Chains A and B, each alone.
Chain A
Amino acid sequence: MPSLALLDPSHEHVFEAPTKKINEGNDVSTFLMSKAYTEIMTFAMQLNRSMFPVSAESGIQGIDGAKQTMPPDESLFSDTVRRLRTLLDELEELIESNPPDSGPRRFGNLSFRRWYTDVENRAPALLETYVPLDSLCIPTDSENTPYAELESYLLGGFGSAQRLDYGTGHELSFLAFLGCIWKLSGFQSQERSDIVEQNIVLGVIEPYLHLVRKLIKTYTLEPAGSHGVWGLDDHSFLPYVFGSAQYGPAISKTDPVPTEGSLPTAPDPGDVAKIASVERLRKKNLYFGAIGFIYDVKTGPFWEHSPTLYDISGVKGGWGKINKGMLKMYNAEVLSKFPVVQHFRFGSLFSWDRHPNAMTPTPTAHTSSQPAPKTSTPHTPSSATPNPPAAQPPSMANTPAPWASSNPSNISSSSSATTAAPWARSNAAKPPQIQPSRPAPSRDPPNRPQQQLDPLRNPAPTRERKPRDTVEDAKASLGMPPPTTKAPWARKPD
């Protein structure tokens, strides 16, 4: 079975701090042919496979033939998993020391920024403690350590402090964090190599989801990208992937990943609409755990506030079929969506370089039914022209503009302000045309020449306004909550 390749310690390796590469809609096609994309998908598939129940003849003990049942047997966790659990516990404790503000606000709670700053400050020490170098397999002639990469993905995994939101892009970042540890052989365990992946999901991802839900509830974090009721879930995706696998048919070591059928003891998928069943199952299964959280935060009929999940609960063909659909959907709705992946960063472990076997992504039936993106006249990049305002991906309380751009403070360092195409290095040919499965959050954010802003003798918005946090803090002190709908073409301001 394919699994994420380990870094070969006999070759020299240079770690690099991950940077943003996806700056416009077209960059998503480049991403889909990158090494990073292929490896993330490989890692996700590998974890997914591990969550299917194991058939009796495989010789592995399990409850109901399915030792994937939660809660997991903690005695089987590796040291790495245990340490990561402690790391997550420590992050959770920081919530206590940063209680939510009680003052007037619009939605997201500004105290989340204090929690996040705390985490940022402690991250280097936490990583050295809980992901010690001697637990990783690093080429001895490495010029540096992997901590910059680990830290970037870890910090990307808990929502945006600026926007006070959390979504699947953050979840993806945490997956990449675990992927880094995997690539550095951090999870390799001599004694129980058969359950390594499964313990990553049950031992680390599950408590991670628990922490994230606590953050969302404590600080009322907004969904980071929202199709409103028409998305799968306001915040998460992976628990639906792994949770559906938990109820899939049992497989042996050599069986392919099932695409239909269910474990005989699995509940009916329709149980998601029955609150009693959800309460009973939410501690035992990741899918129902996620559904339970929806019930916690939303009021109203399930079929109305979560119609996509409701419809999926009518799928004939069992949990295997649901699992297969979830993987396809994850690929299309998370990894192929500009508003989500634009925030992903690329370093040495998850690399922007083109994967040697990358195939040109082809439009699916789903993608071809999408409306063509409205594109604006491409602007002529010029470093003299200020980029549009800082912007944010879709969220609930405020709609960001899809064409919105990246943070002013970022512009000089990376992105679209100048001509170098992000794929310039690896491109042998022009990046292929693919149909993004959603309206391509349109390409280039139109620039706004500042001189035009000021027909009224009013001071025009200036780029060099102080860091947003200052503004936000000032607003907070005035009881003014943070902003809201952002442009889907918006880019991340960090």
Chain B
Amino acid sequence: MSDLDKWIAALRACRTIPEASVRELCYKARELLIEEGNVVQVDAPVTICGDIHGQFHDLMELFRVGGDVPDTNYLFMGDFVDRGFYSLESFLLLLCLKVRYPDRITLIRGNHESRQITTVYGFYDECLRKYGSANVWRYCCDVFDYLALGALVLGTSSTLEPSPLEPGSQSNMPPIDDSIEIEIMNSRNEITARFPRSRRRLYDHELTSSSPPNSPSQTQRTSTPSRTPGGGPPGTSATTSAPASPSGGAVLCVHGGLSPLIDSVDKIRLLDRKQEVPHEGAMCDLLWSDPDDIDGWGLSPRGAGFLFGADIVKRFNHMNDLSLIARAHQLVMEGFKEMFDSSIVTVWSAPNYCYRCGNVAAILELGEDLTGGGVVGRSNGDLGRARGKEEVVLREGEVRSGPGRRYRVFEAAPQDSRGMPAKKPVADYFL
């Protein structure tokens, strides 16, 4: 067993590894990360995850629900550390997996992957307590500086592949066809909701269209027809896929959101990211901003980053030929929330956040486009119908069709199995 595999085994058992091992691991991780661009290209299929915040047992639950590494490809959108009890174990395990299976797992930076933030929100305290010195905190922070700022998921499918059902479980739902855009499953691999592709996208004037929910509990929310053709005709972006391709388009993943200083994905690539997260500027905004129901840009109440409205997202997606922005950064009680006609989604992966919020968590699965560039239709779907719809979409210059999205919603891991540890020496206040 290599050292790396030993570390993985220890960390999976929620045990820390020696300081010297952390140092070595962080060195290896840095070597690897330094080669990555600011925007990592990731091929579907991939499972996108939001904030973890040191909730190790819930991360294990996430892997149980979503599949283990390396069987499932993962993209974590940052905020591995702070607030929870197991930031170290969670981050180091993810880092080990990154080093062990570099093509199977992608880690991008969250606003908590920062020296200043971790000293205020707990990770620094945790390292001191678990190692008695700040060395491990320093090693980790050095890795933070090398984490990518975003990821671009390519090759997604606009359709949903059936999820392999657990033996014994069954679904009352009809078989999937191409018209299903969103599927929601629970942690027992049961489908709890499905949403067809919104007809709104096809016929702009239809007010009665059903819109994808912004959360499972809000399915009945009526949507307004999108007035702004925020995304122009997809054909204008000169992509390689044929107009009728069932491809789900490119998905940009970033921890926080957009920046007024960034109008293209390429501009993100030009940033010098290998530094502490600055208090302002494009890099800061990508990690701190939030979408909001406003027009244009707004001041963020967080004191860093900005608020940005639907018009900003739609324009950005159009200009960059994106079908969706996936981001994390904000607690969502239902685990995920799509906004702005499904042009952006928040994914939150820390259930019962801080032991008290009572929220569920979610991960987002994007399937792989198996059609070979949009030429070959799927055998189990009504391709002609789908294609016809797509053509209408194109003609009308409406919103580009997004990828098929499967959200797996899960709750906090059971807590009964965790033993009570010995009390540790307390801070010097009590000496």
- A249 at interface by CB-CB < 8 Å: no
With A300-B355, A301-B415, A458-B260 as given contacts, are A310 and B303 in contact (CB-CB < 8 Å)? no
CB of B330 within 8 Å of the partner chain: yes
A400 touches B430 (CB 8 A): no
CA of A4 to CA of B151, assembled, Å: 59
In the complex, whether B61 has a CB less than 8 A from a CB of chain A is no
From residue B403, how far is it (CB to closest CB) to chain A in Å?
25
- Closest B residue to A463 by CB, please name it: B299
Residues on A with C-beta less than 8 A from B293 are: 474-475, 478, 480
A459-B296 contact, Cβ under 8 Å, with A228-B84, A371-B124, A484-B331: yes
**Given the complex, which residues of A lie within 8 Å of B84, measured CB to CB?**
228-229
- A374 touches which one: B82, B112, B116, B294 (CB < 8 A)? B116
A399 part of interface (Cβ distance < 8 Å): yes
CA A405 – CA B304 in complex, angstroms? 9
- Asked, given contacts A441-B120, A458-B260, whether A446 binds B280 with beta carbons under 8 Å apart, the answer is yes
Complex CA distance for A305 and B329, rounded to whole angstroms: 21
B128 near A446 with CB under 8 A, answer: no
User: Which residue of B116, B278, B288, B303 contacts A373 across the interface (Cβ within 8 Å)?
Assistant: B116
Q: Which residues of chain A from 205 to 250 have any CB-CB distance to chain B below 8 Å in the complex?
A: 223, 226-231, 234
B54 within 8 A of A: yes
Say whether, besides A227-B122, A453-B261, A397 and B353 are in contact (CB < 8 Å): yes
A441 to B304, CA, bound (A): 13
Q: Does A79 contact B (CB under 8 A)?
A: no
B420 close to A303 (CB less than 8 A): yes
Interface centre among A105, A321, A479 (most CB of B within 10 A): A479
* Cβ–Cβ < 8 Å partners of A392 in chain B: 301-303
Q: Mark B310-336, 1 if CB is under 8 A from A, else 0.
A: 011001000000000000011111000
CB-CB nearest in chain A for B124: A371
* A439 touches which of B54, B120, B421 (Cβ 8 Å): B120
Interface size on A, residues (CB 8 A): 102
Q: Which residue of B lies closest to A396 (CB)?
A: B354
Provide the B102-137 mask, 1 if CB < 8 A to any CB of A, else 0.
000000000110011101111011101100001001
Interface presence of A485 (CB below 8 A): yes
Contact indicator B355/A389 (Cβ below 8 Å): no
CB contact under 8 A between A404 and B303, given known A228-B121, A461-B297, A475-B293: yes
- Do A461 and B298 touch across chains, with their CB atoms under 8 A apart? yes
Chain A contacts for B134, CB-based, 8 A:
369, 371
Verify B303–A104 contact, CB threshold 8 A. Answer: no
8 Å CB interface, A303-352 against B: 303-305, 307-308, 310-315, 321-322, 324-326, 328-329, 332, 339
Contact flag A465-B83 (CB < 8 Å), given A227-B122, A369-B134, A399-B112: no
- Please report the C-alpha to C-alpha distance between residue A481 and residue B356 in the assembled complex, in whole angstroms: 17
Task: Report the minimal beta-carbon distance from B397 to chain A, rounded to whole angstroms.
Answer: 21
Residues from 391 to 430 in B contacting A, C-beta threshold 8 Å = 412, 415, 418, 420-421, 423-430
Q: Roughly how many angstroms separate A438 CA and B279 CA in the complex, as a whole number?
A: 18
Which residues on A sit within 8 Å (CB–CB) of B306?
Answer: 389, 453, 461
**Is A311's CB under 8 angstroms from B260's CB?**
no
CA distance A390 to B302 in the complex (A): 7
In angstroms, how far is the closest chain B Cβ from the Cβ of A442? 7
Q: Does A489 contact B (CB under 8 A)?
A: yes
In A379-418, the 8 Å CB interface with B consists of: 388-392, 394, 396-405, 408
Contact code string A408-451 (vs B, CB < 8 Å = 1, else 0):
10000000000000000000000000000011011001101000
Distance (whole angstroms) from the CB of A282 to the closest CB of chain B: 18
* Cβ–Cβ < 8 Å partners of A487 in chain B: 279, 288, 302-304
Measured between beta carbons, the chain A residues less than 8 angstroms from B418 are 301, 304
Assess whether A280 is interfacial by the CB under 8 Å rule: no
Chain A residues closer than 8 Å to B215, beta-carbon distance: 104
Does the CB pair B83–A328 fall under 8 Å? no
Number of interface residues of B (CB under 8 A): 78
Q: Which residue of B lies closest to A448 (CB)?
A: B280
Contacting pair B299 A445 (CB below 8 A): no
A486 touches B301 (CB 8 A): yes
CB distance from A408 to the nearest CB of B (A): 7
B304 touches A404 (CB 8 A): yes
In contact, A468 and B298 (Cβ under 8 angstroms): no
A127 an interface residue at 8 Å Cβ cutoff? no
Contact call B298/A374, Cβ cutoff below 8 A: no
Given the contacts A311-B423, A325-B429, A366-B429, A456 and B260 also touching, CB distance less than 8 Å: yes
Assess the A226–B83 pair: CB atoms within 8 A: yes
**Does the CB pair B429–A442 fall under 8 Å?**
no
B276 within 8 A of partner (CB): yes
Who on chain B is nearest to A373 by CB? B116
Query: Residue among B280, B294, B332, B429 with the most chain A CB within 10 A?
Result: B429
Decide: B427 and A304 in contact? CB cutoff 8 A: no
Answer yes or no: A455 CB below 8 A from chain B CBs.
yes
Decide yes or no whether A265 CB sits under 8 A from chain B: no
Bound Cα distance A478, B331 (Å): 17
Instruction: Show 30 A/B contacts (Cβ-Cβ < 8 Å), sorted by A.
Output: A227-B125, A228-B84, A228-B121, A230-B122, A299-B412, A304-B415, A305-B85, A315-B426, A325-B427, A325-B429, A388-B280, A391-B304, A392-B303, A399-B82, A399-B302, A400-B301, A400-B302, A401-B302, A401-B305, A403-B116, A403-B279, A442-B279, A445-B303, A453-B261, A458-B296, A461-B298, A483-B290, A483-B301, A487-B279, A493-B301
- Given contacts A305-B85, A388-B304, 20 further A-B pairs with CB under 8 A are A104-B215, A104-B333, A299-B352, A300-B352, A304-B355, A310-B423, A311-B423, A311-B424, A314-B426, A371-B134, A374-B276, A396-B83, A401-B302, A438-B120, A445-B303, A458-B312, A458-B315, A462-B299, A468-B301, A483-B300
